[in-house]
Amino acid sequence: MPAPEPLTIVIVGAVAAGASAAARARRCNEQARIILLEKDAHVSFANCGLPYYLGGEIADRAKLLVATPAFLARRFKIEVRTHSEVTTIDRSRRVLTVLDRQSGQTAPLTYDRLILTTGATPLVPPVAGVDAPNVFTLRNLEDADRIHAFLAAQHPARAVVVGAGFIGLEMVEQFRRLGLHVALVELLDQVLPPLDREMAHLVQEELTRQGVELHLGDGIKSLRLEGPKADAVELNSGAVLPADLVVLGIGVRPNTASAKAAGLELGPSGAIKVNEHLQTSDPLIYAAGDAAETVHGVTGLPGRVPLAGPANRAGRLAGEHAASGHAPPMAPVLGTAIVRVFQVAAGMTGLSAKAAAKAAIPFRSVLIEARDHAGYFPGAKPMILKLLYNPQDGRVLGAQAVGAAGIDKRIDVIATALQLHGTVQDLSNLDLAYAPPFGSAKDPVHMAAFAALNQMAGLTDTLTPTPTSRTSRYSTCAPTTNTPPATNPVPGTFPWTTCAIG
């Protein structure tokens, strides 16, 4: 009896999820034919490192190239085709139409299993001037090359960054590092929209200290043109911000056009709906990464979490299931993230207070000040840690932290507890590493858990500090019905007034 034909697995889109899917598929199936299609020039690069390359912290562009087509072909026997864009998916015949973006020619490509890792595209507001040559988005290495070339050739003095999410704040930091005057525009009334307002306010204070011009609660109306270039950004408020270059970082939308045209089901978020094995409504087609939905680990609801960590994990599992027919299920995602903003870092995991309220999940919160290591050891830096929990059973719901050091460690610890459905009692019992240069005998995680346990037992009452304006320091404290967080305000370094009880 002749040997069966090898399985043909086609992966559409590379970078995080796609490259992970290809490598895992090969590890799980030595006989499969694996074809990786990428519409751009690079198949695996560190897109999270792009802002730091533009600011010069990463000096060598080659360091951003995680894997080249030659490496994938040699190491994993993967057929890599760059500049190749899938224009149609014929599910009944299992045939793709692939456009060669260099030659303009199309060709059919058959598959047995198809993995869609088509990523997301930056949102561009529908306003005049966005196509000017000094207006940029940052999605891939080609975008970074264009910005890098512009910086080198034009020596701009003023930059406007639109959008105060992770990418926007990273670009603000790097432009200031290069000596540019930077104006930051955000439609909402705070930076870092996923954070609760009192936590985001600490980041805003750092931006102000670093000379960043903040325009919060204001949106972009148009870009004023001087010749072909934009020389100013006009805001809805009427403010006019002079600009030598503009970066739009207002968010992303999933690339789902080919999936939608093929009749694959989309979820409520607009991304591709998948099951726990990353299969779409067609079980022969998988989706992973920014184009696909994930289940949130606290709410249990599907949604979009466009982060590199979940994309890599999802791609790996999709590749394994496509190649072998079995794989562990994709774990729910917590949205754990962190960003450096000059001299502070801000991180979060799970739900914020506003997200919990939106999901109608009962919660209470505590907010503590602590040091990243023992206060008597030189160099201890302050941090603010906010912990959310379910008041009925003490289950941890989320955390946010802002500070100069040690944020990643505490957020990762709480993310681990979240993944394991831990409670504040579990957090209080954690056996964490301690020595004066590294931590305290009672770690900030312990202190937050202790405060939550005191709150649950009725031993303390808590009040929340409230910013009086978008840019002013905290000056009032008031009880709230849903989020009564504050305990132990920060003396001196952070802008709190004394408002804790006990």
Which candidate in 28, 48, 477, 499 is catalytic? 48
Q: What angle do CA 377, 382, 383 make, to 5 degrees?
A: 135
Query: From CA 175, how far away is CA 245, in angstroms rounded?
Result: 11
Specify the pairing of strand 158-162 against strand 181-186.
parallel
Contact 398, 350 (CB under 8 A): yes
Tokens matching residue 177:
């590092």
Non-local CB neighbours of 17 within 8 Å, separated by 6+ positions:
117, 119, 288, 289, 290, 311, 312, 314, 315, 318
Confirm whether 48 is a catalytic residue: yes
Query: From CA 89, how far away is CA 91, in angstroms rounded?
Result: 6
Q: Give the residue among 44, 35, 38 at the shortest CA–CA distance from 15.
A: 44
What b/e readout covers 236-269, taking b as 16+ CB neighbours within 10 angstroms?
A: eeeeebebbbbbbbbebbbbbebbeebebebbeb
Which residue type occupies 501?
I
Non-local CB neighbours of 230 within 8 Å, separated by 6+ positions:
129, 132, 134, 135, 223, 224, 243, 246
Which secondary structure element, helix H or strand E, spans residue 81, and what is its range? Answer: strand 79-81
| Bridge partner list, 110 | 95
Q: Kindly list the catalytic residues.
A: 48
